[in-house]
Structure 1
Amino acid sequence: MSMRVTFLGTSGAVPTTERNPSAVLVNREGDRLLFDVGEGTQRQMMRFRTGFTVSEVFITHLHGDHVLGLPGLVQTWDFNDREDPLTIYAPAGTERHIDALVHAAGNQPSFPVHVYEVEPGEVAVRRDEYEIRAFRTDHDTNSVGYALVEDDRKGRFDRERAEELGVPVGPKFSKLHEGNPVELDDGTVVRPEQVVGESRPGRKFVYTGDTRPSETVTEIADDADLLIHDATFADDRAERARKTAHSTARQAGEVASEANVARLALTHISSRYAGETPDHRSEAREVFDGDVFVPDDGEMREIPYPDA
């Protein structure tokens, strides 16, 4: 089952010729989830051929570089005769502001738009195989991050062992794999634990939005397959990061190392670096041994299962 991340915008507060403001699109087996909607997100969707189909939008906070693309995208959906409802999740206390963006310039969407406020620790979305949780971040306004956490998967079915036990090929295989015992023609009962291995972990995707390094982020990112973390500055502007409630690439690396994540994406890159970010990657790698990268706009990454 595929999970693909497309980085639509990787810039900090000010866009550059190479980087658009924040937006990340996650496609999990057809569920298309948009995290933040910086200015120009709709154009990035066209540029990188992701299409406009989105079922839910998750806003981390109300700073313009994370929300100003929402009015244009909503109006584009309207022009394209969208009928499916749109659900927007945002931090507590922001509903009226999000609603104002949806209806900017007197726009009245022809499709249903629902805005829900989420508190840190709350499950925003629950589906059959995964959930999306909000978590507290440390920024200079009311803010949250989001973690997409898949349920554990069934253990591997040992077909060879099942046949040794006399289970005939067919429906009884599926029944055992679903966790139910089966009875053979001679009355023997074969139980799932005899032919099914231990459950296997699903995937975890964590998106921080803007934040200082935080214990809460470290806890929610534990064993994440991909952590997208604020890395607005390199070490040369560490004091600026502290004052503006952002992180350096090294601090993001420290969070990733402590949380034992598999992959770290450094985003929200300040325009001061003019597209050149070798220090970001090298400084993060000094403290984090996993896969670390500074994504370009349009970069796409598949998230594999931990046991792949």
Structure 2
Amino acid sequence: MPLRVTFLGTSGAIPTTERNPSGIFVAREGDELLFDAGEGTQRQMMRFGTGFSVSQVFVTHLHGDHVLGLPGLLQTMDFNEREAPIAIHTPHGTRRQLKGLVNALDNRPSFPVRINEIGDGDVAYRADEYEVRAFETDHDTRSVGYALVEDDRKGRFDRERAEELGVPVGPKFSKLHEGDPVELEDGTVVEPEQVVGDPRPGRTIVYTGDTRPTGATIEAADEPDLLIHDATFAEDRAERAAQTAHSTASQAAEIANRAGATRLALIHLSSRYAGSTGDHLEQARAVFDGEACVPDDGDTIEIPYPDSDD
């Protein structure tokens, strides 16, 4: 089942000619989710071919580089005669401000827009086979990060063992795989655990938004397949990172290590690094044991299952 991340915007507060403000698009088997929407997000969605069928928007905080793209995006959806509702999730205490932004210039979308306040530990969105959870971050305003966590999958079905036990090929295989025992013609009962392996983990994507390095991210992440972490500054501006409630690349890498992440994507890069991101990558790789990258706008990452032969 495909799980794809498209980086719509990887810049810090000030956009550059190469990087748009924050925006992360996630597609999972027909579900399309948007995390933050800096100015120009709708153009990035057109540019990189994601389309506008987003059903859920997850806002980390209400700084302009994370939300100023919402009015234009919703207006474009309206012009395209959208009828499907959309939900926007935002930190506790920010609903009124976000509603004002959505209705800027007296714009009233013709489709339903639901604004949902969430906080640390809340399940912002529950879907079939996965959920999106909010977790606490450490920024200079009300803020959260988000973890997309898939449910465990069924264990592998051992067809050879089932046949050895006398289970006929057919519906009884499916019944066992669903967790129900079956009775054979001779009265023998075969239990699911005799032919089905242990549950297999799903995939996890964690997006911090803007934050200082914090243990809350480690707790929320718990061995994510992809950690998308604030890396606004390189180590030459570590003091500035602390003052402005951001992280450096090496700090993000340390969090990734402690969380047991497989991959780390460094985003929200300050415009002062517009000419080069080599220091970010070098500093992260010196700390992080997994695969680190500094994605450009438009880059995509496919997230395989941990048992990637599936």
Q: Quick check: TM above 0.5?
A: yes
Distance, in Å, in 1 between the alignment partners of 2:220 and 2:119 is 15
1:290 paired with 2:273, answer no
Distance, in Å, in 1 between the alignment partners of 2:3 and 2:206 is 13
Q: What residue in structure 1 maps to residue 31 of structure 2?
A: 31
Q: What residue in structure 2 maps to residue 84 of structure 1?
A: 84
Distance, in Å, in 2 between the alignment partners of 1:143 and 1:78 is 28
Amino acid at match of 2:143: S
1:244 paired with 2:234, answer no
Q: What residue in structure 2 maps to residue 265 of structure 1?
A: 265
Q: How far does residue 128 in structure 1 lie from its aligned partner after superposition?
A: 2.3
Distance, in Å, in 2 between the alignment partners of 1:51 and 1:204 is 23
Distance, in Å, in 2 between the alignment partners of 1:29 and 1:275 is 36
Aligned residues: 308
* RMSD after superposition: 0.6
Q: What residue in structure 1 maps to residue 16 of structure 2?
A: 16
SS at match of 2:134: strand
Q: What residue in structure 2 maps to residue 169 of structure 1?
A: 169
Q: What residue in structure 2 maps to residue 138 of structure 1?
A: 138
Distance, in Å, in 2 between the alignment partners of 1:113 and 1:274 is 36
Q: What residue in structure 2 maps to residue 73 of structure 1?
A: 73
Q: What residue in structure 1 maps to residue 276 of structure 2?
A: 276
SS at match of 1:18: coil
Q: How far does residue 275 in structure 1 lie from its aligned partner after superposition?
A: 4.0
Q: How far does residue 60 in structure 1 lie from its aligned partner after superposition?
A: 0.2
Q: Deviations over 1:161-210 (max 9, x none)?
A: 10111101100000000000000111111110110001100111100000
Amino acid at match of 2:23: A
Quick check: 1:60–1:91 contact (8 Å CA) kept in 2?
Answer: yes
Amino acid at match of 2:280: H
Q: What residue in structure 2 maps to residue 125 of structure 1?
A: 125
Name the % identity: 73
Q: What residue in structure 2 maps to residue 155 of structure 1?
A: 155
Unaligned runs of 5+ in 1: none
TM-score computed with the length of structure 2 as normaliser = 0.99
Unaligned runs of 5+ in 2: none
SS at match of 2:266: strand
Quick check: 1:19–1:275 contact (8 Å CA) kept in 2?
Answer: no
Correspondences of 1:213-252 after superposition (within 5 Å):
213-252=213-252
SS at match of 1:283: helix
Q: Deviations over 1:9-50 (max 9, x none)?
A: 000000000000000000011110000000000000111111
1:5 paired with 2:43, answer no
Amino acid at match of 1:69: G
TM-score computed with the length of structure 1 as normaliser = 0.99
Quick check: 1:18–1:275 contact (8 Å CA) kept in 2?
Answer: no
Distance, in Å, in 1 between the alignment partners of 2:275 and 2:174 is 52
Q: Which of structure 1's runs of 4+ aligned residues deviate more than 6 A?
A: none
Q: Deviations over 1:122-147 (max 9, x none)?
A: 11111221111100000000000000
Distance, in Å, in 2 between the alignment partners of 1:149 and 1:275 is 35
Distance, in Å, in 2 between the alignment partners of 1:52 and 1:149 is 23
Amino acid at match of 1:96: R
Q: Deviations over 1:29-88 (max 9, x none)?
A: 111000000000000011111111100000000000000000000100010000000100
